[in-house]
Structure 1
Amino acid sequence: MESDSPGILKLEPTRVWRAYKGGKLLEEWHRAGNPQDGNFPEEWVASAITARNPGREAIAEEGLSRVSMPGGGPFLRELIESDPVSFLGRKHWEKYGRSMAVLVKLIDSLDRLIIQVHPDKEFAKKVLSSDYGKTEAWYIIGGRQIDGQDPYVLMGFKPGMNKERWRRLFEKQDIEGMLNALNKLTVSPGEVYLIEGGVPHAIGAGCFLIEIQEPTDYTLRVERKTQQGIVFPDEHCHQGSGFDKMFDCFHYDCYTEDEVKKRWRLSPKLLSSDRKAEHWALIDDEATDLFEMHRVSVREEFSHRTDERYCIIIITAGVGTIGSSGVQQNVGKGDLLFVPACLQEVRFEALVGPLEAILCFPPK
């Protein structure tokens, strides 16, 4: 590692407009003065991807993360493009080029999101001319009751659904029928769900979660308008595929609620534990080869070897320090960081309470 290699980068929060409301818990997380819900319910973390929002196409930089510096730092994407080997790692660069190959988000939903599906790799390549689909995973970090209802998600078709019946529900805009066609799962902090491309789903009201996904913003929608009355143009329903092909994006395998949990609710795996720290794999390469997510709980100190793979870090609790090569910086709940692949080791130290962090990784 050369002496002028980049160090760990602290990032500015990157709020992104969406067609549903939320975001109050995000603002509380960052200790904002007057936290409120609005149309910025998502925070994209270490993002080099621009958002796709109807009517906001002119905002070319929406979704891109900036490095936190006095007076304003550069976009992370600019730094990566200037030296992709140092930031992303040589093996990553040789396979994926300048693409980070993942996107990480924080989501706080006041509203239920519309029923949707994301493309798998085959559909994305064939129909959308994209090397990436949008398989994703959710780590539930909290939530709130909305109208007396606990946080929930919708996932997978119930038994009896097929393409023709699903299309008829869409054409009638029978929202109640579409909602009843999906399994509804109440969620709790600490749970992890994998949502493969092609699986119909929706994040319910009251969820606060970290999402890791393939690096696209392709969302195919079967509800023509949101609960707020925002109407989606045809293009933003089918993402350019056309309505006929849109229904080929869905996987019509059917599951009971227990089968959904067995297939897509992941069990965290304890990797190491001692008096100083615990280290868990929330999503590993047995679950998917598209990304990984770990959790560390540091009572005293913990070291992570990068193995020449970059890392995105979200501090979820506590106060402490994080550093590499003798350079440390203070961190606390809500801080967002990018660890370049050229660094050999990252060291965590807890100062006030356990220092809790989520570590997100690209494909190996």
Structure 2
Amino acid sequence: MASLSLDGLTKRYGDNAVVKSVSLDVSDGEFLVLLGPSGCGKTTTLRMIAGFVPPSGGSIRIGDTDITRLPPWKRNAGLVFQSYALFPHMTVAENVAFGLEMRKTPKAEIGPRVAEALRLVRLDGYGERYPRQLSGGQQQRVALARALVIRPDVLLLDEPLSNLDAKLRLEVRLEIRALQQQLGLTTVMVTHDQEEALTMADRLVVMSEGSVRQVGTQSDLYERPADLFVADFVGRSTMISGVVTGPGTFRSDGGLPLSCQASSAEGPATIALRPERLTLGAAARGLDNHAAGTVTFVSYLGALLDVHVRLNATDHVVVQIPNRSDGQVPAVGDTIEVGWPASACLVFPREAA
């Protein structure tokens, strides 16, 4: 295993830069997730690391070796594709062995290494089956075994769970994380699924329009987002537009005066509020910010409820509360108190939107 370093990595197609000077350091054994909306450049970044897309600028290093111009088969990076990319005419064992054969591994070594890789992904005894005889989750494991069998320095995962149903996604992502930790593999994964990213990563990289917006742990990005894009993309937030009127004071576009702990300069700004930081009912009156509102919608989420409350013609908030066993939940049309502490207000200058 080895560390991975990207320095000023850039990719242009004509005048269009789809990846803009990305610099990252991934520690030996770290699980890093590239997270962002479709078209943000995360998959192109991963494919440049793998060697399938030539960079327009910058460099890529695995350990002390510059691999920027090396072909894919000389990078010792295992890649799991979104579509699995299994050969339908080959058995499971033949699929897993393919990378070893391309590397001219001695035949005497191939069998034991294939068996070891299949054991790691819990597919012992499946070697003679064909991909069409496997479930989606089993095909995913074959693709993972094929990447692991070459004993890669870096494991690359390109939306590896996107073709699985919701229940299977949960199971397989935990399996991948446990296996990565067991092997100590330096891993980079691309996803647009926040829950996957938050569950699996040691650190996350949020990308937008080809650039890195923030790098950090789950709590860094959720509790201390660098800008409004990150606050909106990671987790859920209610946005209230308005103006910072002085130190710790804010007035919404709907005329709602609010207290915050930000030292933002006076001027147009947006406040982001996490739904679990808000309180409903009489307890709201003792908080820094509180107002009466009307319930407009209630979303049933099983153990939780999302209560949508309109505070005035312009401002509304979403409050997340436990689903109480006594069945006493707000109903649409109810008038209800809403409150939150000043510390819950994440304030961003309007130009950061």
Provide the TM-score with structure 2 as the length reference: 0.22
Q: Which has the higher contact order (CA 8 A, sep 6+)?
A: 1
Higher percent of residues as helix: 2
With normalisation by structure 1, the TM-score equals: 0.22
